Amino acid sequence: MGRVSTGRFGLIILAVTVGALLALWVVQTALTNDVRASNLPLAARIAPNHPEVVMKQAMIEFQTMRGMTEETYRRIMVTAARAPLSYEPPLFHGIRLLSQGRAAESGPFLEEARRRNPRARFVRLALLDHYLRSGAIQQAAVEARVLIRLIPDSQRVLLPELMRLARDPETRPSLARALAGDPIVKPLLTGLAQSNAPPALVIDLARRTNMLETANPNSRWKSELLRAMIERGEIGPAKSLWSSFAGLGPDRPEGAIHDSDFAGLPGGPPFGWRLAAVPSGFAEYGDGPALVTEYYGRSRVELAAQLLTLTPGRYRLTFAASGESRPNGGRLAWKIACLGSNRIVLDMPIVNLAADFAPRNAAFAIPPDCGAQWLRLVGEPAEFPADQSASFRNLRVEPAGSAP
Domain count, the chain: 1
- For position 135, what pLDDT does the model report? 80
Q: How confident is the model at residue 332 (pLDDT cuts 50, 70, 90)?
A: very high
State mean pLDDT over 278-284: 94
Report the SS3 class of residue 278.
Answer: strand
Dihedral (Cα; 276, 277, 283, 285), 10-degree rounding: 100
State mean pLDDT over 124-153: 82
Compute the mean pLDDT over every residue in the chain, rounded to the nearest whole number: 80
State mean pLDDT over 219-229: 95
Q: What is the CATH number of the domain that holds 356?
A: 2.60.120.260
Q: What does DSSP say about strands 274-275 and 301-308: parallel, antiparallel, or unpaired?
A: antiparallel
Is residue 403 over pLDDT 60?
no
269 found inside a domain: no
Specify the length of the chain in residues.
404
Q: How many CB atoms lie within 10 A of CB 151?
A: 15
Q: Could you check whether the bond before residue 217 is cis, i.e. omega within 30 degrees of 0?
A: no
Domain hosting residue 385, numbered range: 274-399
358 found inside a domain: yes
Give the closest residue to 321 by CA, choosing from 388, 398, 254, 253.
Answer: 388
Question: What would the pLDDT profile of 342-389 be if each residue is shown by its tens digit?
Answer: 999 999 999 889 989 999 999 999 999 999 999 999 999 988 888 889
- For position 288, what pLDDT does the model report? 86
Q: What does DSSP say about strands 373-380 and 301-308: parallel, antiparallel, or unpaired?
A: antiparallel
173 found inside a domain: no
Which residues, listed in sequence order, are joined to residue 323 by a DSSP beta bridge? 390
53 found inside a domain: no
329 found inside a domain: yes
- For position 345, what pLDDT does the model report? 97
Give the closest residue to 331 by CA, choosing from 321, 344, 339, 341.
Answer: 321
393 found inside a domain: yes
- For position 314, what pLDDT does the model report? 96
139 found inside a domain: no
Which residues, listed in sequence order, are joined to residue 320 by a DSSP beta bridge? 359, 393
107 found inside a domain: no
Beta strand segments in 309-369, E: 313-324, 331-338, 344-350, 358-366
